[in-house]
Chain A
Amino acid sequence: DIQMTQSPSSLSASVGDRVTITCRASQGITNYLAWYQQKPGKVPKLLIYAASTLQSGVPSRFSGSGSGTDFTLTISSLQPEDIATYYCQKYNSAPLTFGGGTKVEIK
């Protein structure tokens, strides 16, 4: 099975900073990669799919890139409401494995 590895596992940044999270697949998954945001105590929410397509309603400061095995989630200007744990997920075929998550905090 394909493994999904996220880095870093946590980060602390200031409001307005550019934040980058990476996700690596152990085998190529073309662009079948989604990113989810889970705020503390809340349900996960789909942010990005097909590696770079923003889900409806997601602020444009979020962007995704990559294909094959290496993917990136970028927050162009971190806002206080972006405090959350972010997960990548492969969805080309089952198992639909998640990465381990990246917890984003405000410095």
Chain B
Amino acid sequence: EVQLLESGGGLVQPGGSLRLSCAASGFIFNNYAMSWVRQAPGKGLEWVSIISGSDSNTYYADSVRGRFTVSRDNSKNTLYLQMNSLRAEDTAVYYCAKGASSAVAGRLNYWGQGTPVTVSS
């Protein structure tokens, strides 16, 4: 059974940093791309970033490029999102999601429960 468990969310001041983690199980982790998707309170889904399965190609939404860094440790079956220079508009629930292939594209066929991030002073 595929399981994705996010952690690391919380309250952070504007300009601060946070690192999210997503522990994966139930599939061969390095065979699949992984994405981060966020949802601000009462708003729709916003794709944030993707990292390929084994060669770690990465892509970012314009709204986070240069501030967020996605990475993965295939030996630990864990996905990360380092978030720097956080802004109030980054406040959201952050979901990790499994891609259907190793490429930096593809549908998202499994989602974690999400971890909330609040950026406020």
Partners in one complex: yes
Do residues A98 and B45 form an inter-chain contact, with CB atoms below 8 A?
yes
Do B100 and A49 have beta carbons less than 8 Å apart? yes
Whether B111 contacts A94 by the Cβ 8 Å rule is no
Report whether B108 and A46 are in contact in the complex, using a CB–CB cutoff of 8 Å: yes
Judge whether A87 and B44 touch: CB under 8 Å.
yes
Q: Contact between B111 and A45 (Cβ–Cβ < 8 Å)?
A: yes
Residues of B with C-beta under 8 A to A89: 45, 47, 107-108
What's the nearest-Cβ distance from chain A to residue B49, in Å?
Answer: 9
Query: Majority SS of interface residues in chain A?
Result: loop
Range of interface residues on A (Cβ < 8 Å): 20 to 34
Let me know if B46 and A46 touch, CB within 8 A: no
8 Å CB contact of A93 from B105, B109, B112: B105
Beta-carbon contacts of A72-96 to B below 8 Å, as 1s and 0s?
0000000000000101010111111
Enumerate chain B residues within 8 angstroms of A36, measured Cβ to Cβ.
45, 108
Min CB gap A76→B, angstroms = 22
Pair A96/B50 contact, Cβ less than 8 Å: yes
B109: chain A residues within 8 A (beta carbon): 46, 49, 55
Instruction: Tell whether A3 is near chain B: CB-to-CB under 8 Å.
Output: no
Q: How far is the CB of A102 from chain B (nearest CB, A)?
A: 10
Question: Contact check: which of B50, B95, B104 meets A44 at CB < 8 Å?
Answer: B95
- Flag if A92 contacts B95 (CB, 8 Å): no
- Whole-angstrom CA separation of A100 from B108 in the bound complex: 17
Q: How far is the CA of A36 from the CA of B50 in the complex (A)?
A: 18
Q: Mark B77-98, 1 if CB is under 8 A from A, else 0.
A: 0000000000000000001000
Determine whether the beta carbon of A94 is less than 8 Å from that of B107.
Answer: no
Which 4 A/B pairs are nearest by Cβ-Cβ distance? A94-B59, A101-B44, A34-B107, A49-B107
